[in-house]
Amino acid sequence: MPSSDDIASLNDVHFGYVASRPVLDGISMRIPRGKVVAIMGGSGCGKTTILRLLAGQMRPDKGNVVFDRQSVPRLSKPELYAMRRRLGFLFQFGALFTDMSVYENVAFPFREHTDLSEELIHDLVLMKLNAVGLRGAAYSRTNELSGGMARRVALARAIALDPLLMLYDEPFTGLDPISLSVVGQLIRRLNDALGISSVLVTHDIYQSLKIVDYVYFVGEGRILAEGTPEAIRSSTDPFVKQFVNGEEDGPVPLHMKALPLATDFLGRAIEERAQ
Amino acid sequence: MQRATIDLWVGIFVAIGVISLVFLALKVGNLMTWSNAPSYRVEAHFDNIGGLKLRAPVKAAGVVVGRVENITLDSVSYEAIATLNIDQRYRFSKDTIASILTSGLLGEVYVGFDVGGDEETLKDGDTIIKTQSAVILEKLIGQFMLNQASSLAQGDHK
Amino acid sequence: MNIANWLRALGQTTINALAHLGFIFRFFIAVLLNTPMAVTRARLTLREIYFAGVLSLVIILVSGLFVGMVLALQGYDILSTYGASDSVGVLVAMAMLRELGPVVAALLFAGRAGSAITAEIGLMKATDQLLAMEMMAVDPLARVAAPRFWGGVISMPLLAALFSTAAIFGAYVITVQLIGMDDGAFWGNMQAAVDFRMDVLNSVIKSIVFAVIVTLTAVFEGFDTEPTAEGVSSATTRTVVHASLAILAADFIMTIFMFRGV
């Protein structure tokens, strides 16, 4: 049940892009203050949808989403925008503004939401870039950055206004092992240093178990398993075991649901013979 | 691109854009002479205005001195009433003759002023009394044919 | 039954088209309501005037010059048959001011600036930049759409005027400098025939209407892009095609109202 210790929570959330096919089918989860929570699951299981619901980008069909004691689906547009200033969002590939330099990207939230002087913005931007280790890249163009660097710049931009909660959408996708652990450690360090909370949507089980406090496994629109990293590692749940060990077949089947083989391959032959 | 460079280019762009608008208005559209210049209105009644159109020029001695502002039909006398907008700078005597003329065979139709000798000049709201209607080519040809036919007929009698 | 199906499809298409039109109109209103940022942070709009206007200058001036020169050559050829070669200036000025200036400038503008606007916004959408902006509590309609819209609406009438001016200059070069027509007759006949309100003002009105059509289409298609590489390319094509057709249709309607019965 939600307590005041939670920065955000989902209570029995139902959601579907089309009514006939629910993506989320009764999901409840809590994001405690100061913790890093991972949401894991196979591709297309609705992980990203959960982030979008948390950020108020979409409204659940049923159930409630709470952020900082406010019910997100009930917020008006100005209230929602006010809420998002306390929220940091890191996109899968960073989503840096390609028409601006690295410096201008990080300065963007200050320019849009504050009246700070140019000198102050300059100092703040370099501070934020320093926090992700990229002060030296301040005057580079965004297309000169590697994937990992772009994501770190985006991270600097996301933490610019000191959010209460950071949402990470697949932060590890497409990174080499070094960049991957750099980004992973950065997420953890920033979380503890800034005293914020983080939600991490990922399917990189190995990296995330090293840095998170709690894990939710999502599949078929519901929570299949949850627990601390230790509990997950020693879990005997067949789904968790399949995911952790990366087994090909298991509760998550290799084959998509389809007609029986005989019907698909021989169907026409059978029909033709019947005629 | 540096900010100052963008500013400069946008400044140049807007400046030459406005200059070309002014060019179109003054040099091509000849705004200077007409729309802003103070003017007065006079009316002229014609039996037939032919192909006279709105905004056709009014010329005196070949110089454009005004424009046709309005054309209506007097429902009593069945005359065409042309309202002429004349530049304030030019004064014309009361007995000026307004005629509807064509520049060249295919040229534009305009109102021509032939100035008379009256001491008094036309004022705003005045009516030009002496007018000469448009020459309708078809009527002329018709008349010519008629004359030819009748002279031929007379010749037969003789 | 075949006809019933056909009718149903036709009805569906009509309803979809109307709904799409309504959607565009709602987008238009939303952009207008989000104008304040484009005004208070003029630098954003200035940047768009640079991209839409300044970068279109060369193509507009060069095409204008050539259109004017060609029109003068052809016009001289035909008019001299009727002994009216003095009217070449009138022909070019009238054609440019009334129709070609606003229309051709708008078509070029759709191809040069409109497609660039759509591609830029579409790419921003495909790479989550618009969403990222929204997540940072910045409305993309105010930050991205409105400055581009106003930048285009300000640039386009100036470009149309420059296009007409370049064309008249081109005609001047051909008839006066090359053919050796009298300089005074060229300008004098033009001034006698061109009416400020009728021709110049209507030309500006047309170009403003076209500016709204092109820029709105470009910004809308950008926001409406399917966020894939293919989506961006087809949205860019749609901008050029739809804007061009809309320009020609709007030009026809405006010509009816402006020049009928004159």
pLDDT at position A163 over 80? yes
Q: Is C195 on the interface with B (CB under 8 A)?
A: yes
Lowest mean pLDDT among A106-110, B54-58, B68-72, C9-13: B54-58
Task: Judge: B24–C165 Cβ closer than 8 Å, yes or no.
Answer: yes
User: Which of A81, A97, A154 has its CB closest to that of C137?
Assistant: A81
Does residue B28 sit at the C interface (CB-CB below 8 Å)? yes
Is pLDDT of A274 > 70?
A: no
What is the domain range of residue C111? 34-259
Q: For residue B59, give the nearest of B24, B20, B23, B100 by alpha carbon.
A: B100
Query: Which residues on chain C are in Cβ contact (under 8 Å) with B54?
Result: 262
From C120, C127, C134, residue closest to A93, measured CB to CB: C127
Judged by CB atoms closer than 8 Å, whether chains meet at C132 and A98 is answered as no
Average of per-residue pLDDT across B49-64: 81
User: For residues B109 and C107, what is the distance between their CA atoms, to the nearest angstrom?
Assistant: 36
pLDDT at A71 over 90: no
**Per residue of chain C (262 residues), what is the pLDDT tens digit?**
688 899 999 999 999 989 988 999 999 999 999 998 888 888 889 999 999 999 999 999 999 999 999 999 999 999 888 878 888 889 999 999 999 999 999 999 999 999 999 999 999 999 889 999 988 889 999 999 999 999 999 999 999 999 999 999 999 999 988 888 888 888 888 887 888 888 899 999 999 999 999 999 999 999 999 989 999 999 999 999 999 999 999 999 999 988 875 5
Picking from C46, C197, C203, the nearest residue to B35 by CB comes out as C197
Q: Which residues, in sequence order, are bridge partners of residue B71?
A: B82
- Residue C7 in domain: no
User: Does any CB of chain B come closer than 8 Å to the CB of residue C139?
Assistant: no
Contacting chains of A (3 CB pairs or more, <8 Å) are C
pLDDT at res. A2: 46
Q: How far apart are CA B105 and CA B137, in angstroms?
A: 10
For the ranges A25-29, B13-17, C248-252, which has the lowest average pLDDT? A25-29
Where do the H-state alpha helices sit in chain C?
2-33, 36-40, 42-52, 57-79, 88-95, 101-109, 115-126, 129-135, 140, 146-172, 183-193, 202-223, 229-259
What is the pairing mode between strands A197-202 and A165-169? parallel
Instruction: State whether residue C33 sits within 8 Å of chain A by CB.
Output: no
Of A93, A98, A113, the CB nearest to C137: A113
CA distance A18 to C200: 54
- Angle ∠(C21,C24,C27) on CA atoms, nearest 5: 150
pLDDT given for residue A251 in this prediction: 67
> In this structure, is residue C21 part of a structural domain?
no
How many structural domains compose chain C?
A: 1
- Give the count of Cβ contacts less than 8 A between chain B and C: 86
Homologous superfamily of the A6-235 domain (CATH): P-loop containing nucleotide triphosphate hydrolases (3.40.50.300)
Is any Cβ of chain A less than 8 angstroms from the Cβ of C131?
Answer: yes
Reported as a pLDDT band with limits 50, 70 and 90, residue A1 is very low
**Cβ partners under 8 Å of residue B123, min gap 6:** B40
Q: Give B-chain residues touching C157 at CB under 8 angstroms.
A: 17, 21
Compute the average pLDDT of residues A202-223: 84
Give the pLDDT band (50/70/90) at residue B105. low
Per-residue pLDDT tens for B31-45?
A: 655 555 688 889 888
Question: Residue C236 contacts by C-beta under 8 Å, 6 or more apart in sequence?
Answer: C115, C118, C119, C122, C221
When CB atoms are compared, the residue of C128, C137, C138 closest to A95 is: C128
pLDDT for the residue B157: 61
Sign, Cα dihedral of B86, B91, B95, B100: negative
Chains A and B: 3 or more CB pairs within 8 Å of each other: no
Half-sphere exposure of C91 (CA within 13 A, CB side): 23
Give the chains touching B; criterion: ≥3 Cβ pairs < 8 Å.
C
pLDDT band at residue A269 using 50, 70 and 90 as cut-offs: low
Q: Which of C84, C196, C262 sits opposite B31 (nearest CB)?
A: C196
The shortest C-alpha distance from C82 to chain A (Å) reads: 57
Chain C residue whose CA is closest to A157? C136
Most confident of A78-82, A149-153, C243-247: C243-247
- The alpha carbon of residue B112 and the mean position of all alpha carbons in its chain are separated, in whole angstroms, by 7
Considering the entire predicted model, what is its pTM?
Answer: 0.79
Task: Tell me if C16 is assigned to some domain.
Answer: no
Compare all CA atoms of chain C with the CA of A52 and give the residue at the minimum distance: C135
pLDDT tens, residue by residue, B109-120: 888 888 888 888
CB contact under 8 A, B20 and C164: yes
Q: Is C43 on the interface with A (CB under 8 A)?
A: no
The dihedral of CA B86, B91, B97, B102: what is its sign? Answer: negative
DSSP A7: E
The answer to whether position C6 is within a domain reads no
Neighbours of chain C (3+ CB pairs under 8 A): A, B
User: Given A85, A93, A157, which is nearest C137 (Cβ)?
Assistant: A85
Q: Which residues of B touch C54 (CB under 8 A)?
A: 9-10, 12-13
Interval A93-132: pLDDT, tens: 888 998 889 999 999 999 888 888 989 999 999 988 988 8
Output the pLDDT for position A50. Answer: 87
Q: Do B29 and C50 touch (CB under 8 A)?
A: no
What's the mean pLDDT in A180-186?
A: 87
Q: Is residue C29 part of a domain?
A: no
Q: Domain locations in chain A?
A: 6-235
B51 close contact with C: CB closer than 8 A: no
C88 inside 8 A of chain B by CB:
no
A229-249 residue pLDDT tens: 888 888 777 777 777 777 766
